[in-house]
Amino acid sequence: GDSVTQMEGPVTLSEEAFLTINCTYTATGYPSLFWYVQYPGEGLQLLLKATKADDKGSNKGFEATYRKETTSFHLEKGSVQVSDSAVYFCALSDDYKLSFGAGTTVTVRA
Amino acid sequence: NAGVTQTPKFQVLKTGQSMTLQCAQDMNHEYMSWYRQDPGMGLRLIHYSVGAGITDQGEVPNGYNVSRSTTEDFPLRLLSAAPSQTSVYFCASRAGTGIANEKLFFGSGTQLSVL
C-alpha cells in the first residue's frame, strides 16, 4: 500500500539555521502530499500541501516541492526560530485515508 | 468555533476495563477518523467514517469499536483494554471528499495508559 518514509530525528538546530527534513513516498496513484506540524501538547495542524507533480506548497517560511521523479516532498526553511520547535509529519492522501510518516522532532535553540 | 473536541484529555485504565473516548466536531464535517500516535510509528488510522451510519476499518482496528449515529459525534470504544493500547489518541475530521476537502482538523488528543 501507499506509505511515507521521513528522516529520523531528533534534529537540533541553532536559531537562523537552515532546516531540511527529508520525505519520500511510495504510491500507486497520484496522491496529494502534506506536511503537518504538532506543537507541544497540541494536535496536528496542516502546515502545507501540494496536490500534483512540481507543485510547491509554502506557509510560515516553510516550503516543499512535489517531486514525482524522485518521489520526494522534502520540507525546508531558510532561517528557523525557537517557535519552530515541534514534531513534523509528512503524509500522503489516498482517497479517505491519510498515511503519516513517523515524525521528526525539531528543537531550535536560541 | 470549538472545532474538534476530545474528552477526556487523560485516562488511566486497568487491563480488561472498557471505556469510550469521545469526539465531537461543530464544523458539519462528513468525514471523521481516529488515529493512535506511538513513538517512532507516527499516526496510524484506527477507524474512519464518511458520514452518519457509515464506518470502516483503518490500519489498526483490532480491539476498538466505533459508531456514527450523528454527523457531529464519533466515539471510540475500547472493549477490553490491554497494555498495548497505551497511546495518544487523536480524532480528526474533514469536510468531505475531493482535493478541496483534504485538510484534516485534529483534536488535542487523549493520553491513555493501560496498566
Which pLDDT does position A69 carry in this prediction? 93
| Cβ contacts of B55 within 8 Å, gap of 6 or more | B47, B48, B49, B66, B67, B68
Written as nine digits, the cell of B71 is 454527523
Per-residue pLDDT, averaged over A19-44, amounts to 92
Which amino acid is it at B27?
Answer: M
- Kindly report, residue by residue over B13-61, the tens digit of the pLDDT: 999 999 999 999 999 999 999 999 998 888 999 999 999 999 999 999 9
CA distance B17 to chain A (A): 26
Written as nine digits, the cell of B30 is 462528513
3-class secondary-structure state, position B101: helix
Is the pLDDT reported for residue A4 higher than 90? yes
Is the pLDDT reported for residue A70 higher than 90? yes
Is the pLDDT reported for residue B69 higher than 90? yes
Confidence of residue B96 (pLDDT cuts 50, 70, 90): confident
Is the pLDDT reported for residue B9 higher than 90? yes
| Cβ contacts of B20 within 8 Å, gap of 6 or more | B75, B76, B77, B78
Q: Does A46 sit within 8 Å of B104, measured CB to CB?
A: yes
A95 near B CB under 8 A: yes
Residue A4: closest C-alpha in chain B? B42
Which pLDDT does position A1 carry in this prediction? 78
| Bridge partner residues of B87 (DSSP) | B112
Per-residue pLDDT, averaged over A2-9, amounts to 88
Is the pLDDT reported for residue A47 higher than 70? yes
Which pLDDT does position B93 carry in this prediction? 95
CA distance B81 to chain A (A): 23
Which pLDDT does position B44 carry in this prediction? 93
Is the pLDDT reported for residue B99 higher than 80? no
| Bridge partner residues of B40 (DSSP) | none
